[in-house]
Structure 1
Amino acid sequence: MSHPMLASANHDETTEQLFVRDLQYWLYTEVEPHERQIAEELDPGLSHNARAEEVFDKLHKEPAFLGWSNMRRTTQELLWDSVWNCVDRQAGELDAKASEAAEIGSLTLAEDFQVPDYLEDAHVHLMPGGYGSDTDGVRQGALMDRGGAVYMLGRNGGFLNDGRGKAVAAHLASCYPDFQPEKLVELGCGVGSSVIPVAEAYPKAEAYAVDVGASVLRYAHARAAHLGAAIHFVQDDAEKTRFADESFDLVFTAAVMHETSPEAIQNILTESHRLLRKGGIAVHLEVPVKYETLDLWSQVIAGMERDYNNEPAWQEATSADYGALMTAAGFEDVKVGFQDAVLGPDMSASKFGEESKGVFLSWFVTSGRK
């Protein structure tokens, strides 16, 4: 399933995007095992964090690793280049579609908004311009939306990219079955792909979504309107929004923490508590790994994501003690575990438990009540 705001690719653009995707897949499946072997020979079997950093440093003296890691980053740059050309070709059409969207929901942009340094200085996932770029019209959001679908090989809900939002909704349904929020907000909403399934799960709730980029939010508002979702999009900082205390019954994030900073992680948890009314619930979803349980090679890959794919807080976000952090932020009845991905129409098949089933099959989730 797709939607009218998604940039369409012609024959040559589709071929290029599929080539880059397949080249990335080849690097991960066919070449990466050889790099893993080199790492294990340098320090076989060890997974202690400090040792992983030592092996990471040693690998940078290995020509095979340098060649492979360079290709890995280059394919990511090629992916964004191919998607940008596709989006730029039809930028005018996308702006027109945005202006034709139904007048539902709302869009509130801030004058002289200051994007946080960790997003201003590092374009996450190497996406040109990053999330905070204020390009004209909706093209930055269009780039993020189509690029995300290609980047994740369709494993996060295809072209709707809504798998994370469905997992949040499934967590609420399984762990808080009687919960019926009247007002909800997503912090760090991107193009709005996660807030829509959560809003659909609570059709009587007033739904808000916050992010830093004007262009991304213009696109998100038009995208949601074309999908018939009345979402109120607001340009703001998830660490400290301008909403009043106790404004919401539900606050959530979906894979945001690893793209912020170590300080921002705690700030966002604290902000989610401030925003909640008494009895309200916060849900924070992240990638389904715990850094300290990873083997040596997986920790090396974490270093690559941090240093070469511009995911600045990947290690901190997957190392954090969310039970302690949520408690310190003031939450009660804190839950920490893994929510099964929603892979079909039956949301009840998604269970919450202590074990991860792996990337795109599970999501790490912590939640708590105020």
Structure 2
Amino acid sequence: MLEPLPHVREIPPYVPGKPPPARPGLTAYKLSSNENPYPPLPGVLGAAEQAASAMNRYPDMGCVALYDALATRLGVGTDQLAAATGSVASIYHLLTAYCGPGDEVVHAWRSFEAYPIAITASGATGVKVPVTADGRHDLDAMAAAITDRTKVVLVCTPNNPTGPALTHSEVAAFVASVPDRVLVVVDEAYLEFVRMADPVDGPALLRAHPNVVLMRTFSKAYGLAGLRVGYAVAHPDVAGALRAVALPFGVSSVAQAAAVASLASEDALQARVDSLVDERARMVEGIVAAGWSVPDPQGNFVWFALGERSAAFAAAAGEAGLAVRPFAGEGVRVSVGEPEATDRLVDLLQTLEPPA
């Protein structure tokens, strides 16, 4: 039988968040996938239904309406945009376009689980740089890891799954230290949830540095995880390369229509994001009151660095009707969800011994 390319066998599996376990007499909550617990924004379901009525037709491969809406929102040219089936697909497209065997991709670790998968799929080699003790990117160490073989650096802010975000000053200084020949991907999947001084201004970074690429998604704050639509913002040459390697007609008509309608519901979006940020703050207050601590969460999730206790913690959460996301031997990520889920998490923490 014909064998796949050698590196294909080295691709690590992606481990998705599990659905909530069924517990008799107990409402179960899924806190394992960083999903938005709210229904679609006003007008989105109607737009999606209208688009679905024409499902016998191919979607607009040029994503004209979506690109126009995004260009207006971000103050960029439509030639600087490249849509994909989620921001993770944009990462695959970029690595496909710019990396191959012998090339290196530098990224923090622990960070987004799909990075090693996408890097290996491209044939390149990943260079993992450990995050700091408080779950932050070690940008100095990442800069030191860049070699003549480095083609791409991946910066995830806020970092999934540990939670902390980088400041604009930190990222700007880092990008200025990176050779122009190296693409710096700023993965901003959770940017809407950031509440800190000096937040990253992605478009400003891109204006100052043509080697910057922004990755964004409609899956998290906008609540369109089930439709799979994200996008990259980049120099026109880079965006063109991403569009060139993308699967034709990849972003469905329904996804495009829902994304455009979501962009038109900015006030409602902001209210929902603010509500989730408030719930995040309440969750952290409960965690601290129970004697636990977590790194500064700037996404819609918190991180428990539990090491070998991770599996046991996830099992205990499951018994309480909470699906959480364990990372074997490292920690557990818990999404911000419904208030009752927060209460139940805090109740659980009060029964367990926090790490020393």
Normalised TM-score (structure 1): 0.30
**Larger RCO, structures 1/2 (Cα 8 Å, 6+ apart):** 2
More helix by share: 1
